[in-house]
Structure 1
Amino acid sequence: MSKGMKIDPPSGKIGVVVPGLGAVSSTFIAGVEAVKRGLAKPIGSLTQMGTIRLGKRTENRVPAIKDFVPLASLDDLVFGGWDIFPDDVYQAAIKAGVLERGLLDSVRPALERIRPWPAVFDKAYVRKLDGPHVKKGANKMELAEQLQEDIRQFQKQHQLSRTIMIWCGSTEVYIKPGAVHQTIESFEQGLQQNDPAIAPSMIYAYAAIKSGIPYANGAPNLSADIPALIQLAKEREVPICGKDLKTGQTLMK
């Protein structure tokens, strides 16, 4: 029988760093900021509006999940991220056109404070997109190290107790798993040698895991779900998850 896992109660601020501050991310962040201020309800959020039944149906014990499970408050979330365009989140949300202008204006100061860091980007992996706000480095390993430094500075600036990364960038081209993806050693060698089989999302995933922060992939492309990064995540006890979780935003829009 497996031993139970001790889960510490939430405390302090949680950093949410997002590669890609476009339509998906700006809608997500603006929505959270609106909910914080009582300007909207978290429709569709299992943790915020969902309930859980305890005992028999006749006992009528149906608490909200957020009251039953020790989860952090939305007020504890602090957002940051990367993008190939320098627009702040307010500008990005206006361009995306998902939410009403009036709602965005009501949370404008909070959104304008979130300005993206230069992104790790290569047009070869997202052929219909290009932008000027990108990092430069001698190789992909150096780019990964720059991402880790962004994370460290963000954590220090906001005195964060925990941080997570959610990939919300554009879907990358199909990549077939190969030798470079099989072990940590081969993957890190590939980063040093600019292996074309290592896409930007993999560089972000690597940076997150090396930084000790959970990584969730919001697109269908190959990302953290390769043997090398799965192995690294297990060794460092860092959760990884996700596969195309952002499609619903497109349907809503």
Structure 2
Amino acid sequence: MSRPTTDGPRVGIWLIGARGGVAVTSIAGLIAQQQGLADGTGLVSTLPPFANLPLVEWNNLVVGGHDIRQAPLIDELERLHTQSRVLSPALVESCREELAKIESRIRPGTLWNVGTRIKQLAEPAAAGRSSDSGINNAKSASDVVAAVQADLAAFKEDNALEQVVVINLASTEVSPEDTDAWPATWDELKISLPTADCPLPASSLYAIAALDAGMPYVNFTPSLGSALPALDDLAHQRGTCHAGRDGKTGETLMKSVLAPMFAARNLEVMSWVGHNIFGNLDGKVLDDPANKQSKLSSKGNLLGDILGYAPQSHISIEHIESLGDWKTAWDHIHFRGFLNTPMTLQFTWQGCDSLLAAPLVLDLARFTLLARERGETGTLDFLASFFKSPLGEGDQAFAAQYERLLAWVNSYSE
């Protein structure tokens, strides 16, 4: 495989949760593309329909990020290889030098309203901040936003970057209550930021920091992020864009493909049950009922939207430590056919969580950066096919979502 050439301005990818499995796998995937060690398998942006888009070249992408932990990036990559049995030894070695460089671009993250389970992940040394700033000594949400923006500005300046996209890959937060009652405009919402009891979670403060600085923001997690109408208003005011929510990589991807089939054939889905087991850090966080509820809500929404009615459903998520980064989903679909005949469809989905997510992270970075360059503002709803709970309006069926992505591509050449 040939090594990609460098052409065009340098741009940054700032990863929230930069030391996690998905982030480190995304970085490894980027390095593999930069060094010509991998083909485009798994990457939507390398498919033929997108060949003529002026997407950022792999060699022009620079990575930095925030994290509440301090474990070296190479340790996570080696863990994926030795414990989860993915990634070749050659790839791990080829990433070692670049990962050491990226280490210097990772800053301690905020623990503001992240919930008890995520706070437990923060190592004691990460609870403070180095002498040049104090994100976790912040007295208000405004202080957190200012500290994050300082990190983003330094990253952009130190690396001579034209633009930076911020992508949230952190662990799932507990969902705040009564968000529907929160102010719908940025001017109203920002009044709460200087207070010590601001209810906004960390994911939303990262979003505010990015959008207020004119940088696009992508929420790959079920956390609140930029889902509030007030943050969409902020994006419009600052002339930038955002997308999310919760990357669609496995069982829910299958639901978004199969449910339209039942609807199109007029087969009544009476019940749809899914059991999920996996063993990585995300699974450990989701073992807490409060954090798990955020994920269950994201996974469970689309059936009613696609079918036009809500069948009985059940979704379980269990942490099985020995599985490492591998996850398995068993689904049982009970449906009613012609002449009231009950039938079943069952499937098993097994995949490596980080390897399913990482290429989508790189795709989203490239598509979002291009949208920002084109001057698109607010919610990027053409990216709905990448998310379980996509922001904006539109069909939940995967085929329809992918057609919207293709329509966006076609609009570029018009």
Give the TM-score range, shorter chain: 0.7 to 0.9
Cα pair distance change 1:96/1:142, threshold 3 Å? farther
- Cα distance in structure 1, aligned partners of 2:113 and 2:234: 27
1:84 counterpart letter in structure 2: I
Structure 1 distance, partners of 2:43, 2:196, is 39
In structure 2, distance between residues paired with 1:118 and 1:167: 14
Kept in 1, the 8 Å contact 2:113–2:201? The answer is: no
Q: 1:231 aligns with which of 230, 233, 253?
A: 233
**Which residue identity does 1:121 align to in structure 2?**
L
Distance 1:214 1:179 in 2: 25
Summarize the Cα distance change of 1:29–1:126 in structure 2 as closer, same or farther, 3 Å threshold: farther
2:175 maps to 174
Alignment of 1:140 onto 2:155: no
CA contact (8 A) 1:139 1:191 kept: yes
Greater fraction helix: 2
Preserved contact between residue 189 and residue 230 of structure 2 (Cα < 8 Å): yes
Residues 246/75 of structure 1: CA separation in 2 closer, same or farther (3 Å cut):
farther
Deviations 1:169-220 (A, max 9, x none): 0111122314444332332222211345300000000000011100000012
SS at match of 1:114: helix
Give the whole-Å Cα distance in 1 for the aligned partners of 2:198 and 2:87.
Answer: 37
State the AA in 2 paired with 1:120. Answer: T
Aligned length: 230
**Identity fraction in percent:** 28
2-side partners of 1:113 and 1:42: how far apart?
25
Cα gap change, 1:246 to 1:159, in 2 (>3 Å): farther
Q: How does 1:18-167 map to 2 (within 5 A)?
A: 18-21=15-18, 22-48=20-46, 50-52=47-49, 65-66=50-51, 68-97=52-81, 98-115=86-103, 116-122=106-112, 124-125=114-115, 127-128=117-118, 129-132=120-123, 133-134=126-127, 135-136=135-136, 137-167=138-168
> Which TM-score applies when normalising by structure 1?
0.83
Unmatched runs of 5 consecutive residues or more in structure 2: 1-6, 128-134, 251-324, 328-350, 354-414
Question: Structure 1 regions of 5+ residues with no counterpart?
Answer: 1-9, 53-64
Root mean square deviation, CA, Å = 2.1
Normalised by the length of structure 2, the TM-score is 0.52
Q: Distance between the aligned counterparts of 2:62 and 2:102, measured in 1?
A: 9
1:222 maps to which residue? 224
- CA distance in 2 between counterparts of 1:26 and 1:12 reads 24
Q: What's the secondary structure of 1:78's corresponding residue?
A: strand
SS of the residue 1:15 aligns to = strand
Q: Which of 203, 210, 213 is matched with 2:212 structurally?
A: 210
User: In proportion to residue count, which structure has more strand?
Assistant: 2
CA distance in 1, matches of 2:96, 2:219: 27
